[in-house]
């Protein structure tokens, strides 16, 4: 038998790269950084090897480390010095993110994105104002509409501090429209919104909650984050955010939801982002420490799969390591 079609012809070293269909670039990657108002030194995050919480005074140095690898964008998460029922430090002029963003934008050329949520700032760890009795009744959850005002105030405070883009992550119905209106009214019509449009109630978030000190004090987030079983619902969520003015559409987590990334890519011409979350990062590190996987190889392959599925932007804790190897 002499087959006329031999795909292996295009797999030799000389031509393999020429016909490669997908490529990663440092410009595709966004590096999360954690700024902590409660410390004056860098604090390693045990469940996320290689990552630290840094004090506000070290935020610029941390971003400069990211930029040195070729990654051009960061997303800033904050750990406040105090918390309350409403998460009021989230929109404080002298809040941890606001102070860090002012320094970063004044002293670096980084593109600065901010996470807009309340879970790190509320004493109960939920993403908004909770209903009365929620601590004792698992059927109760976050009050949707009163939370919109607080998210809007937070986004505006970030824009005033110099954020280039805001990224609401609370999965509150109407959050994109409320934030868009608030930004426009405050003179920030040019600040884009990257919405966590399809954010699932996932078991892959555990290490992040250590990093950002945002674990719920009671209950869980199943009443406002999406059911992992649902894909069609994700398209309804995305459609609503598009109607409300979202500029970038994000899926979180990334690897367990590549089908959702692909469906959004095929259905919308908006830029699509995917969040390669802390659990995805931690499990590869754990397998590597056991000697079961080659960390660099599986990290690159994981991010390549996210890009191949249709993501234009990838938020990942591997950003710096991968960028240095590209």
Active site residues: 199, 252
Where does the chain show beta strands of DSSP type E?
Answer: 29-36, 43-44, 52-55, 73-79, 111-116, 165-168, 194-199, 248-252, 272-276, 313-316
Rounded Cα–Cα distance for residues 324 and 245 (Å):
35
Give the DSSP H/E element, type plus range, for residue 278: helix 278-289
CB atoms closer than 10 angstroms to residue 177? 18
Strands 248-252 and 194-199: parallel
Dihedral angle, C-alpha 234, 194, 277, 262, nearest 10 ° = 40
Structural contact between residues 270 and 249, judged by C-beta atoms closer than 8 angstroms: yes
DSSP secondary structure string, 228-266?
TT-SHHHHHHHHHHHHHT-SEEEEESSGGGHHHHHHHHH
Per DSSP, 12 falls in state S
For residue 36, the SS3 value is strand
Structural contact between residues 241 and 176, judged by C-beta atoms closer than 8 angstroms: yes
- Burial bucket for residue 133 (CB in 10 Å: 0-12, 13-18, 19+): exposed
Tokens 């010095």 correspond to: 81
């Amino acid at each position: 038998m002499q087959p006329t079609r031999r795909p292996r012809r295009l797999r030799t070293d000389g031509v393999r790269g020429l016909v490669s269909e997908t490529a990663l670039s440092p410009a595709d990657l966004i590096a999360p950084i954690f700024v902590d108002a409660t410390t004056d030194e860098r604090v390693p995050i045990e469940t996320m090897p290689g990552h630290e919480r840094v004090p506000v005074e070290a935020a610029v140095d941390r971003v400069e480390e990211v930029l040195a690898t070729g990654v051009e964008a960061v997303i800033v998460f904050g750990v406040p010095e105090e918390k309350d029922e409403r998460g009021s430090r989230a929109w404080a002029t002298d809040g941890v993110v606001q102070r860090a963003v002012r320094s970063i934008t004044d002293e670096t050329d980084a593109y600065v994105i901010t996470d807009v949520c309340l879970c790190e700032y509320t004493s109960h760890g939920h993403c908004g104002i909770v209903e009365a009795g929620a601590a004792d009744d698992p059927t109760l959850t976050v009050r949707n509409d009163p939370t919109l005002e607080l998210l809007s105030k937070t986004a505006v405070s970030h824009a005033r501090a110099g954020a280039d883009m805001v990224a609401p992550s609370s999965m509150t119905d109407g959050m994109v429209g409320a934030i868009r209106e608030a930004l426009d009214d405050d003179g920030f019509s040019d600040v884009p919104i990257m919405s966590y449009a399809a954010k699932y109630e996932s078991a892959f978030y555990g290490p992040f909650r250590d990093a950002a000190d945002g674990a719920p004090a009671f209950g869980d987030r199943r009443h406002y984050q999406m059911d992992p079983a649902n894909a069609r619902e994700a398209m309804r969520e995305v459609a609503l955010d598009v109607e409300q003015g979202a500029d970038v559409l994000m899926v979180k987590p990334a690897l367990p939801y590549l089908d959702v990334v692909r469906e959004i890519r095929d259905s919308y011409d908006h830029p699509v982002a995917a969040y390669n979350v802390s659990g995805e990062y931690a499990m590869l590190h754990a397998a590597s420490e056991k000697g079961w996987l080659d960390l660099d190889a599986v990290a690159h392959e994981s991010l390549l799969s996210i890009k191949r599925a249709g993501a234009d932007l990838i938020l990942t804790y591997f950003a710096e390591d991968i960028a240095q190897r590209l």
